[in-house]
A and B are shown apart, each in its own frame.
Chain A
Amino acid sequence: QSALTQPASVSGSPGQSITMSCTGTNSDVGSFNLVSWYQQYPGKAPDLLIYEVSKRPSGVSNRFSGSKSGNTASLTISGLQAEDEAQYYCCSYAGSSTLVFGGGTKLTVL
């Protein structure tokens, strides 16, 4: 069970859209629609952004959206805002009641 692969960093300017990837295998991301995304600010606990690939919990801005193609899940943030600067983690069900996280992506708002 290896960690999902996320780019170490992505950046964008305010108002732009960015997409970050989360690549797994056909044993996790590719086989189950059970990918979730979390936002984490320094020194804080993660917050849920997306679950089941593309569903947003109540209270999460519709600027955040998720998708999946094959073994790669993606998180898109539209209308980038300064407050979006944070660390982002993906997580996938990996079979046999286990979970695997990605290494995280740091989003910088220029």
Chain B
Amino acid sequence: QVQLQESGPGLVKPSETLSLTCTVSGFSITSRYYWGWIRQPPGKGLEWIGTIYHRGNTYYNPSLKSRVTISIDTSKNQFSLQLRSVSATDTAVYYCARDVVLEEVHAYYFDSWGQGTLVTVSS
């Protein structure tokens, strides 16, 4: 049974870089699935940040693309998020999730989620 766990600092200063890691257990990150990051500001809705495939293909939300990098470390079964030049509007619960492939086709939905981690941007 796949499990995902986010980790990283809970507090980041404005203008600095937010860095989070998602550790995947019970499932190989090099299997046919994609891996995504989603965030949720307090009291607000979900926002897709981006997705990565184990071969390094990355796809980003156009509104965040200039500040986001998602990378993957297959040796550790982990993938990571970096969000640069953060401000208070980046305060949110950040989730990592598994993005499904069905019959070799990217199906674009998330079937397993981490518990989420709150990142606050404040000085």
Contact = CB atoms under 8 A, between A and B. Distances in A.
A1 to B, nearest CB: 6
Nearest to B60: A98
A36 B46 contact: no
Given A91-B48, A97-B59, A45 B95 contact: yes
A99 B48 contact: yes
Interface in B72-115: 95, 100, 106-111, 113-115
A100 interface: yes
Contact of B109 (A1, A36, A45, A96): A36
B45 A48 contact: no
Interface size class of B (residues with CB under 8 A): 20 to 34
A34 interface: yes
A1 B63 contact: yes
B107 A104 contact: no
Contacts of A64: none
A75 to B, nearest CB: 14
A3 B45 contact: yes
A47 B115 CA distance: 11
Nearest to B100: A51
Interface of B: 36, 38, 44-48, 51, 59-63, 95, 100, 106-111, 113-116
6 contacts: A3-B45, A45-B115, A89-B46, A93-B108, A98-B60, A101-B38
